[in-house]
Structure 1
Amino acid sequence: MNTLEEAAPLHGISLGFSGAVPERKYWTTATQDRDILEFVSVLSGLVLKYGGKIVHGAHPTFTPVVLRQAELQGRAGGAPGVTIVMSELWAKHQSAFERERFQRESRFLLVPQVGAGEATDPEVRNASLTALRHVLVTEMNMLVAVGGMRHLGSGFAPGVAEEIDLARRRGLACFIVGGFGGEAASAAEKFKLDPRSLRNGLTDEQNAALLESTDVSACVGLIFDHLVRSGARLAAQAGAK
């Protein structure tokens, strides 16, 4: 192992976070928001600390957590460790202060909105977010899904399901953390019978733990340890069919 690998064992990994804190009415525990955000905070911090990068689609519940970790794990004189991808559908309403922070703490990519209108229009929203997600998955070489809004009866397409689908089409390793509810829990049900199709290199037992566990530390530890051991191989498979 060379010096770079010893100091930054996750160098070359671009881990995408898919998800959000779900709507309150779908919470299964009183601390579901705290558990999800703790998972995002700890795992993103570890990935950044050990040389990897984080990619996220600018959901307002995850983005402040990821940007805070970018501040804490700042890389002096280097490129930002975080990439935030946002649709112009929302970016056009950003304050100057918010835009400046995004540009300071991340590599901030804007994707044109699709159609005329606002985010309240399901057709414009869904088309714009699909365009964003096509860009998003090209910026990552593996994906972890946790939480996620369900949007039942709203006409809005669930983002977690679409991001997992796009990531799998590109051959990306996917880690689905289903125990904290939201759309990721629905996705977890679909993969319980065929966890190897996630192409993440975990055993069936390890995938089962991620798909069901409500232990934040255990989920973070399982993924992080696996990335240290196998992350380079998983990153190399991105783009394979």
Structure 2
Amino acid sequence: MTMQAHSLLDWSPEAAVFDCDGTLMDTERHWQDARNRAFAAFGLTPPRGFAERAKGVHYTDCGRLMAEETHKPELAEELGSALLEHFLALVADDPTTMPGAVELVRLLSGRLPLAVASNCPLEVVTGCLGRAGLLQHFDHIVVPSGMPPDAVGGCPGAAGSQVVRPKPWPDVYATAARLCGVRPERAFAVEDSLTGVESARRAGLRVVGVGARPTGEDAGAADLWVTTLRAPELLAWVRARVLKGTQAPGGD
């Protein structure tokens, strides 16, 4: 365990902000299928390694990346639209949570302000979380938008009048922390992509990375890497530093 991990595990947060795709919901495979279908629809072959480069990237930026890497820049907007259309159809048929996501969210619910910061469209995030029975646990949903997101399902995700740019810009995480009523350095983010980790770090949050620990210089991008949200070290930290001394509404 690194000194960075020790620092996080000795610290008590005041809010938690979760990514959605690949962190709470098992939708990354849907994005991959949707990218492949969009490429195929235009007779294009996915470049080698494209899935990793596209992970966590906003769908409009992904459309541009798809167009650039296949040398069809004129198709950027159409590829982005096709990508979103295919993804929406896939996720509607199969909304599945990531291992440990439901348990961790329920464990934190009522103990800390909770928010979601996602690059997905608002209707995708709220639809997925609603079908998974998780939406009611979150105080705020923040997504990229040139206009303030509407209140949906009891989650007022109101970002005021500011423009919220997609990850890796820090906007979604900075806005989520502000809506939770805490300074960014008093909140932690939970992320599965390096794009999302960069966004949260730029906003000033500490970060728990979920999935295989990266190699090389990316290994230190998050304060702690865990393989799943069921990781014993993560749950031990939550119980020792978050649940201790707090009480859920109506709890004993």
* TM-score, normalization by structure 2: 0.46
Structure (1 or 2) with the greater strand fraction: 1
* TM-score, normalization by structure 1: 0.47
Q: Highest CA radius of gyration, 1 or 2?
A: 2
